[in-house]
Structure 1
Amino acid sequence: MYKAWCIYILTYISLFLWSTAAAQQTESPTIKGKLDNGLTYYVRHNPYPSGEAVYRLFLKTGSLAEQEAQRGLAHFLEHMAFNGTHHFPGDSLVRFLEQQGAKFGKDLNAHTSYNETVYKLQLPSKDSSLVNKTLTILADWIGGLQLDSTAIEKERGIIYSEWLSRKTGGQGAEEAFLNALFNGSHYADRKVIGDTAVILHAPAGQIRTYYQDWYSPSLTAVAIVGDIDEDQVVKLIKDKFGALPGNNKQPREWPIPNYTKSSFHQVIDDGESKAELHVIRLLDLPQPVRNQKEHLHYLESDLLKLLIRKRFRDLAFKNPAYTKGSLQSSGFLNTKQIVLASVGINPDKPDSSIIEFATNLAQLVQYGFDSNEIASIKKSYEAALQRKASSNRPTPSAILMDDIYNDYYKGQPAISAQQEYDWYVDNTTQIDSTSLLRHLQHWYYPDNAYYLLTGYPQIASILPSETQVMSWFQQAHDKVQPRYHKPMDMVTALLENAPAPATIVAQGQRHSIDAEEIGLSNGVRVIFRKPVVERDRISVTGFRKGGLYSLDSTDYISGLYTSQIVALSGAGTLDRESLNHYLSGSSASVRFLIDKTRSGIAGSADPRDIETLLQLIYLKWTAPRVDSTTFGQVKEKAIDTYRHTNQTPASIFGRDLGYIVNGRDYTSQEITDQVLAKELRQDRLLPIFDRAFGPASGYTFIVVADPKDEELKEMILSYLGALPGGTSDTAYRYVRPPVAAGTTFLKYDGDTPKATVWLTYQSNSIPMDYQDYQLRTDIATAVLRTQFLKELREEMGKVYSVGVTGSSTLLPGPLARTSIQFSCKPEDAELLVQTIHNRIQQLIDHPESMAATLEDVKNNLRKEMDLQKQKDSFWSSYIRNAIFNGDESLLFVADYEDKLREISPSLIAGFIDLQLGTIQPVKAILYPAGFDKTTPPKKDNKKNNKTK
């Protein structure tokens, strides 16, 4: 949990410079302007995806601007923005947007942070009147919120439920990590979620005061990117936002100080699953990049991150005492630069784990990187920049919006891919081992750092003390370490000889998907589909039925690890390092996968590297390796991970619920250290790989590329056609146990104050075409979620969110499953379960009650399908899954609109009855420890709940 939180902090809260993936030129530059009242606007026409626009309202205010009596009200106000505005009173705003095909949470959303609040919309743009109304909504958010007292009272319970839903095991470590980053600053007193007492009791006037003070045009930017008329949008912005009254109030700057000395803190928490040590340094944030000179520092930093990541990846193969080590640098809240060194502690070797990690860090900062490491990273980096600069792939509007975010909040202007490549060429000669070492030494130093040690009670007694930890890092830093050296074999070619090509034995057109199909003499078939947008990228994917469920039960555990270990072992005569070095700078990459019900590959490359990709597929397919050292390390790590992962109440609950829902057999068993020791066998990996791949007959490959590319076809014949012929036994051996129903599973040992509720409905019948069934599942679950949110959240105020998911599979036998999940106050759990049952029955008995919701869901699906059809990855996935599930006609997408039109409220009501109404669910509830299970549930009083 803590590790996930670290990743969240270091990724969500932002890298400190621009996203180079977004730095691509499109048809027109961004128009940027400022109105007299101080509002900034950005407008950019971008044709991809066609018929869509992305909107943002950026505010330079957040929880830091709150007074003591307003703690949590910046976030509260964000909620209220969806509860009534001048032009869209009450819930009509959300209703209007949902009628346009928007899905709450995906197409309309918002977030509040410490120093920013962002509102997000993503809507169709072909109708100019919708663009007009959408801009009206954005303007209302700045100057026209109703902030009705009744609506405010109603929202209190929802926000409290959000606070409750975020309570997790390991909360103490999360809080400690944040407090370390805040370093005694004002940030620590202004957590975004706020104070529950304020949330529940603050006068409505405090919310209105915050709104009047901080929702000002001078602190706001409105941004629109998409398939729009730029001139029309600029005019609308001036008309709608220009008259908004502003104030000159500016939020106070709240700095986070750097550490002036080292400190140590230990957190022992039942909710922690692992033991870790984090060494945190706070540095000043680098300046934005606006010219070539400033780019030099950024480039050096970017290369350094890649070098460090690769070094620790290589060290992981030397079987270190620690479980995982890393050193990374990131921006934080657009305020600080964080340098974070993290090590996973092996409880069998707690001291050695930290000592070895400290030694690795000291070795890094004493010597840096050798010329081979630097040359390899530079080669890959330059190749990626060059591909980006020459690419004609369109950039999605949502990615371009990231550039605008960086410009407004960070002062970082967008840099074109060509400009970045040119700067790289000019600056790279100035970056060498000496400059990189100097940069690294600025980042990491054992002094002036915050040492945070986390663990769980069972191992608290073996964790080292503050004195030990601090002395180990200082001693490692003071001692002269040996240089790091990694020998590498140089490779000049993947294959010594070209394989003999196949012949085409069948050929035809797939008109329903605008594709061409050929059958090869080795039993392989290849479907070529012309790309929609990625004309300078070729993808090759393939599959065949079989997978883990076709294995004997004694091979199942080995099968879980086969793809990973074979991939890490290299191929043919090449070990992993030699193969990676040969591919450095190439765009070719491929993964071999063994899933439960199928095996397959997924690869891609730029056209100039397509032969390398096909050679790589052929080599890995026909000459797999299993390196003994690699196998031993993977197995040992897997055993150690199990043995040293604390089983929290939540993880045990999830495991036991899985046994009830899935049955308990060799496919669902807990993979313990004893299971791994006995059943993960090196001698079985290559036979399993050969069973999944080996003879290629029966494989279907989908190649997204121009079907008329004769040179590509010749290479396909030479490499995919040269894969071994013959058949493999891929019949399913696994027989699914009978589905569970009607079971109640209650536990009373949760380590948070909330109750977590799961309702799972299962059936082993799929009584119609699979894709039609899945479409109805998607529609029914969307309708159910909307209905549950309306009652449990909006009317009762007792949950923050409700998850409703549906899935189905035909193989190895039919299985359909619908799950409903939410968290709430423990005393409300049974009441809400009953409310869900009642709402399900109401929808079944009165289909007309879902008519409006159903139309919104269908509109959203139409919008999503229009967007998906503009993605090459969608077509590749659709073709694979359709054929896998027995649809050789491939007509589903072509008939999609007709299928949607056929969906009626009564049809969905009947489907819900089939899936939920006639099935007793597995009901599982994890209550907090100490909850009095004898307390009767509160009676539902909707009248009081609505005005609470």
Structure 2
Amino acid sequence: MQNTLSVISSLLIINLLLLLFSVSSNAQTINFNDSLYVDKTIKKGNYPLRPYVDIGKALMSGVIIKEGKIISESMLQSIGSTTFTLSNGIKVHYKFTDKNKNDVQLRAISYGGLSLIKDQDLPSAQLLAKFIIKSGLGNHSAIDLSKILVDNTAKTDIHISNITESINGFSTTKDVETLLQMIHLRFVNPRFDKDVYQVVIENLNNYITKRCHDINEKIKDSVTATLYGNNHPKRRLFNNEFIKDVSFDKIKVVYMERFNNAADFEFFIVGDLQKRALRSLLEKYIASIPINDTKETWQDNSVSWLEDMIDKKIPLIMENPKSEVRIGYKNMMNYSLKNVLVARALGDILEFRLTEILQEQVEGYRGNVKVSVQKRPIEQASLQIAFDCNPDKIDQLIAMVNQEIKNIANGTITRTDLNEIKSDYLKERKQEQDYNSYDIQVLINYFREDYNMNDPKNSEDLVNTITIKDIEAFTEALIKDSKSYKIVFSQDLKVKK
């Protein structure tokens, strides 16, 4: 019997299927040469045959789901969204858009983040996301999960910022059910793999050894130590002591604190997905997430610099005979959409002028400028400048950069430069609207920040209202009586590595 079976080739099977298909008038016919091609292709392994796997059953194995209900549904015409309120209290804001065909994006966001983590647990919290993603999900290791999802596009990750925690996901339209299953598991059945933890820690220890020789990481650590000290619990240096304070058990505790309860998470779903298809999936996988009555918000855990004005020179051996300069300002500033745009314009103008200054001195040196206005945990504006230069040009270039800042604060801005910047902003705005990522941000800003991105008064009109006087006033308010630092990294040119 075994010998008989062994002579049955894939070609015979294919030809047998040809006979079966030929009797159906609706079947697609293939000829004998086609069968030979298929036979060779299969033998080459280009189309490996895989056993059928019911992804839903495999992914959710061992998980008992008690489905909930959608108890209310409301539409918002101004942004074209629908809000579902689920029986467990969770709100899901949804918008259909097929700007990007076959693309669905999801975000679940809650306030809290690192601001609610104990100081001694912060190292574990900051490495949590890296560890969780490598651990797998539910009852499946990362390797098993990759096998289950081999032909599936659904992906999720987690993120913890200073004041929020979030779960992010995306998939094609056909794999949305898998995406929502994964979101469900992130809340009710996360996986903590001790073996993965050991590998992550070992990799990080190896990375720290290499990091010690990275000049950019040395500069980053030196700036942190200069501003906050060597041992500030909320501004730790990434070194061996940091890794020693990471704990497998603490990671589990932090995750359960931040993601165990979905009561204060707000869900956003955007993409090429019809409402009728989404409703039943929400009831099955999101309304079924158990919650309790505890709701949290963020705390102000902002950290002050060691001094209001810092001026420091740090010797640092570099491969190339150059110096690095870091300049910063920060000051209290009311948060507004207008101020955010003005800050961006200031940054672009100043970076353009910094580039011109550096090119006039020595071609090839680079610099960058970042200006921002933050809303939480405190309203303030900040300006950060970084550039490298010849060691003998340090004082001259710092003076030139400071003079440019003063010039802008005095209104020395050409109307041509400003108009070009505004034109670029409007072009970028138009391009951004072509993507689903824009629409999910519309929902997030509307429901969490209380403004409509689609309303011209919050975007195009604001851009068009920016004047030279606005940038002048903003810059003056930022640098006047501000906290500031100037940190210069240089070396003795006679020192060789």
User: TM-score of the superposition, structure 2-length normalised?
Assistant: 0.82
Go from structure 1 to structure 2 and tell me whether the alpha carbon gap of 1:786 and 1:563 turns closer, same or farther (over 3 Å shift). closer
The one of 311, 314, 329 aligned to 1:747: 314
Partner of 2:235: helix, strand, or coil? coil
Go from structure 1 to structure 2 and tell me whether the alpha carbon gap of 1:642 and 1:708 turns closer, same or farther (over 3 Å shift). closer
Aligned residues of 1:543 and 1:880 also touching (Cα < 8 A): no
Go from structure 1 to structure 2 and tell me whether the alpha carbon gap of 1:813 and 1:640 turns closer, same or farther (over 3 Å shift). same
- Residue 810 of structure 1 deviates from its aligned partner by 2.7
Distance 2:38 2:235 in 1: 53
1:189-208 residue pairs with structure 2 within 5 A? none
Distance 1:579 1:698 in 2: 28
Go from structure 1 to structure 2 and tell me whether the alpha carbon gap of 1:595 and 1:917 turns closer, same or farther (over 3 Å shift). same
Partner of 2:414: helix, strand, or coil? helix
The answer to whether structure 1 residue 856 and structure 2 residue 420 are counterparts is yes
Aligned residues of 1:549 and 1:812 also touching (Cα < 8 A): no
Go from structure 1 to structure 2 and tell me whether the alpha carbon gap of 1:733 and 1:897 turns closer, same or farther (over 3 Å shift). closer
Go from structure 1 to structure 2 and tell me whether the alpha carbon gap of 1:789 and 1:429 turns closer, same or farther (over 3 Å shift). same
Aligned to 1:429: 42
Aligned residues of 2:102 and 2:272 also touching (Cα < 8 A): no
Please tell me the residue identity of whatever aligns with 1:503: K
Distance 2:290 2:324 in 1: 51
Go from structure 1 to structure 2 and tell me whether the alpha carbon gap of 1:768 and 1:524 turns closer, same or farther (over 3 Å shift). same
What does the per-residue CA deviation read over 1:184-211, in whole Å, with 9 as the maximum and x for residues that have no partner?
xxxxxxxxxxxxxxxxxxxxxxxxxxxx
Partner of 1:541: helix, strand, or coil? strand
Aligned residues of 1:653 and 1:747 also touching (Cα < 8 A): no
Distance 2:404 2:256 in 1: 51
- Residue 668 of structure 1 deviates from its aligned partner by 1.4
Partner of 1:513: helix, strand, or coil? coil
Please tell me the residue identity of whatever aligns with 2:437: S
1:109-148 residue pairs with structure 2 within 5 A? none
- Residue 647 of structure 1 deviates from its aligned partner by 4.2
Distance 1:876 1:917 in 2: 38
Please tell me the residue identity of whatever aligns with 1:810: K
Please tell me the residue identity of whatever aligns with 1:682: F
Aligned residues of 2:340 and 2:372 also touching (Cα < 8 A): yes
Distance 1:427 1:877 in 2: 49
The answer to whether structure 1 residue 833 and structure 2 residue 398 are counterparts is yes
Please tell me the residue identity of whatever aligns with 2:142: R
Please tell me the residue identity of whatever aligns with 1:824: C
Go from structure 1 to structure 2 and tell me whether the alpha carbon gap of 1:818 and 1:432 turns closer, same or farther (over 3 Å shift). same
Aligned residues of 2:110 and 2:266 also touching (Cα < 8 A): yes
- Residue 612 of structure 1 deviates from its aligned partner by 1.2
Aligned to 1:190: none
Aligned residues of 2:109 and 2:265 also touching (Cα < 8 A): yes
1:658-697 residue pairs with structure 2 within 5 A? 658-661=224-227, 665-677=232-244, 679-697=245-263
Aligned residues of 2:96 and 2:275 also touching (Cα < 8 A): no
Aligned to 1:844: 409
The answer to whether structure 1 residue 903 and structure 2 residue 469 are counterparts is no
Distance 2:494 2:474 in 1: 37
Partner of 1:572: helix, strand, or coil? coil
Distance 1:931 1:925 in 2: 18
- Residue 556 of structure 1 deviates from its aligned partner by 0.9
- Residue 560 of structure 1 deviates from its aligned partner by 1.6
The answer to whether structure 1 residue 698 and structure 2 residue 264 are counterparts is yes
Partner of 2:253: helix, strand, or coil? helix
- Residue 546 of structure 1 deviates from its aligned partner by 1.3
Aligned residues of 1:523 and 1:699 also touching (Cα < 8 A): no
What does the per-residue CA deviation read over 1:337-365, in whole Å, with 9 as the maximum and x for residues that have no partner?
xxxxxxxxxxxxxxxxxxxxxxxxxxxxx
Aligned to 1:519: 85
1:588-667 residue pairs with structure 2 within 5 A? 588-643=154-209, 645-648=211-214, 650-661=216-227, 665-667=232-234
Aligned to 1:762: 330
Aligned residues of 1:753 and 1:825 also touching (Cα < 8 A): yes
Partner of 1:921: helix, strand, or coil? strand
- Residue 746 of structure 1 deviates from its aligned partner by 1.1
Distance 1:667 1:425 in 2: 61
Partner of 1:637: helix, strand, or coil? helix
- Residue 513 of structure 1 deviates from its aligned partner by 2.7
Aligned residues of 2:264 and 2:296 also touching (Cα < 8 A): no
- Residue 893 of structure 1 deviates from its aligned partner by 5.9
The answer to whether structure 1 residue 816 and structure 2 residue 384 are counterparts is no
Aligned to 2:3: none
Distance 1:693 1:822 in 2: 40
Partner of 2:58: helix, strand, or coil? coil
The answer to whether structure 1 residue 865 and structure 2 residue 432 are counterparts is no
Partner of 1:747: helix, strand, or coil? strand
Distance 1:428 1:687 in 2: 51
- Residue 862 of structure 1 deviates from its aligned partner by 0.4
Please tell me the residue identity of whatever aligns with 1:552: K
Partner of 1:858: helix, strand, or coil? helix
Distance 1:816 1:931 in 2: 41
Please tell me the residue identity of whatever aligns with 2:323: A
Aligned residues of 1:529 and 1:704 also touching (Cα < 8 A): yes
Distance 2:374 2:334 in 1: 12
Please tell me the residue identity of whatever aligns with 1:625: R
Go from structure 1 to structure 2 and tell me whether the alpha carbon gap of 1:852 and 1:662 turns closer, same or farther (over 3 Å shift). farther
Please tell me the residue identity of whatever aligns with 2:242: V
- Residue 823 of structure 1 deviates from its aligned partner by 1.4
Please tell me the residue identity of whatever aligns with 1:755: S
- Residue 633 of structure 1 deviates from its aligned partner by 2.3
Aligned to 1:924: 487
The one of 59, 62, 76 aligned to 1:494: 59
Go from structure 1 to structure 2 and tell me whether the alpha carbon gap of 1:639 and 1:578 turns closer, same or farther (over 3 Å shift). same
- Residue 686 of structure 1 deviates from its aligned partner by 2.4
Aligned residues of 2:113 and 2:165 also touching (Cα < 8 A): yes
The answer to whether structure 1 residue 781 and structure 2 residue 347 are counterparts is yes
Distance 1:639 1:733 in 2: 32
Aligned residues of 1:536 and 1:606 also touching (Cα < 8 A): yes
User: TM-score of the superposition, structure 1-length normalised?
Assistant: 0.44
Equivalent residues, number: 449
Identity %: 18
Unaligned runs of 5+ in 2: 1-36
- Residue 685 of structure 1 deviates from its aligned partner by 2.3
Distance 1:532 1:576 in 2: 32
Partner of 1:750: helix, strand, or coil? coil
Go from structure 1 to structure 2 and tell me whether the alpha carbon gap of 1:425 and 1:727 turns closer, same or farther (over 3 Å shift). farther
Distance 2:147 2:178 in 1: 14
Partner of 2:59: helix, strand, or coil? coil
Cα RMSD after superposing both structures: 3.0
- Residue 858 of structure 1 deviates from its aligned partner by 0.3
The one of 371, 376, 382 aligned to 1:806: 371
Please tell me the residue identity of whatever aligns with 2:42: T
- Residue 925 of structure 1 deviates from its aligned partner by 1.4
Go from structure 1 to structure 2 and tell me whether the alpha carbon gap of 1:655 and 1:626 turns closer, same or farther (over 3 Å shift). same
Distance 2:239 2:168 in 1: 30
What does the per-residue CA deviation read over 1:63-94, in whole Å, with 9 as the maximum and x for residues that have no partner?
xxxxxxxxxxxxxxxxxxxxxxxxxxxxxxxx
Please tell me the residue identity of whatever aligns with 1:685: I
Distance 1:614 1:550 in 2: 27
Distance 1:889 1:646 in 2: 46
Aligned residues of 1:538 and 1:705 also touching (Cα < 8 A): yes
Please tell me the residue identity of whatever aligns with 2:490: Y
Go from structure 1 to structure 2 and tell me whether the alpha carbon gap of 1:608 and 1:931 turns closer, same or farther (over 3 Å shift). same
Aligned to 1:355: none
Partner of 2:250: helix, strand, or coil? helix
- Residue 502 of structure 1 deviates from its aligned partner by 2.9
